[in-house]
Amino acid sequence: MTQNAALFSPVQMGALDLPNRVLMAPLTRNRAQGDGTPKAMAVPYYRQRASAGLIFTEATQISAMGKGYLDTPGIYTEAQVTAWKKVTDAIHAAGGRVFLQLWHVGRISHSSLLPDGRAPLSASAIRADAQTFTANGFEDCSTPDAMTEVQITQTLAEYRHAAKSAKEAGFDGIEVHAANGYLLDQFLQDGSNHRDDAYGGSIENRMRFLQEVLDVVGEIWSPDRTGVRLSPLGQANDISDTDPETLFAAVIEMLDSRKLAYLHMVEAFPGSTPNDDDSALIDRLRQLWSGFYIANGGYEAQSASDAITSGTADAVTFGRPFIANPDLPERFRIGAKLNEPDADTFYGGDETGYTDYPFMDHPADKVA
């Protein structure tokens, strides 16, 4: 008997027909080669999870300057494209669908991770009160350089090239990562954007870079295969805004006018519980979006099913449950118990905690 039946009703999202609404969230795993090329073990990892209604890859940097953490993958060299093509081929052969998340971390980086030891790039030269993971372990983020307009133009070209590379690698679409305090979020929010040019000051100006990114990736991908991820509550990587509701209302209305495949909203961060004001803000912002809405943050099978049934979400992304349960949709469908994730293996390492979590294989596994 199917439990939480709303999770298993097929649905159209942009150009894609999704067989279920249990989607795999983008999950940083720090298991790529030092040059950003995905390792061979990424192929079975993603193939194992192909029963998701849609897989979002781990955040993938658009360029060498977009890197912010040790051993994260890229999508800007031929070797990276070739490696990702093996991943997408495996997912498709298993009947799955996959979007690549395009990522530039901006100031959430360290000079040791960047070409020639350069300073990170950001909207303004304001160091984030945050840490990143380098060859020496966790280190404070480096002070960034404020991007010149020439550097903005170059970064837009990098977004376009990465979008083209994603198509060559066989992805079904792309997600523009504008959440969690990374580069595009740094331009949006006034805690990190103190510019006085066409990219700073007013909300219209602060949205300009995101709009230009969507314009350039739109030269490669149609809107019905493009989505955006936002996190209006902040709470990540020292990001803040003096009036987040007004800002994100404008952002969402702008995105809505573009008729994108979806909006992917981070409603809560791991380890946090939104208060009533936070939940009310998310509710008000969600009502400004007329398209396909993907919710993320703290959902379990029942709460996700309830959100879909009530119409407050069209699908839900799951993160850590997918790490530990490659067959998560089937476990949700029959009400099976879940494997427990091992937090010690979330970031970096070998196949342990990556490709070795068990599928259900005997009746005892199927008892909730």
Contact present, 177 and 236 (Cβ < 8 Å):
no
Q: How many other CB atoms are found less than 10 A from the CB of residue 336?
A: 19
The DSSP bridge pattern shows strands 121-122 and 145-146 to be: parallel
CA-closest candidate to residue 169, choices 58, 74, 28, 40: 74
In the residue annotation, 293 being an active-site residue is answered as: no
Q: Alpha-carbon distance 305 to 291, whole Å?
A: 19
Tokens read off for 48: 């194992």
- C-beta separation of 228 from 264 below 8 A: yes
In DSSP notation, 180-230 reads: TTSHHHHHHSTTT----STTSSSHHHHTHHHHHHHHHHTTTS-GGGEEEEE
Are 273 and 303 in contact by the 8 Å Cβ rule? The answer is no
Question: How far is Cα 131 from Cα 109, in angstroms, rounded to an integer?
Answer: 8
Amino acid making up residue 264: H
Residue 8, C-beta contacts closer than 8 angstroms, at least 6 positions apart: 2, 20, 21, 22, 329, 333
**In angstroms, how far is CA 147 from the centroid of its own chain?**
23
Q: Which of 46, 69, 159, 182 is catalytic?
A: 182
Q: How far apart are CA 124 and CA 258, in angstroms?
A: 28
* Catalytic machinery residues: 182
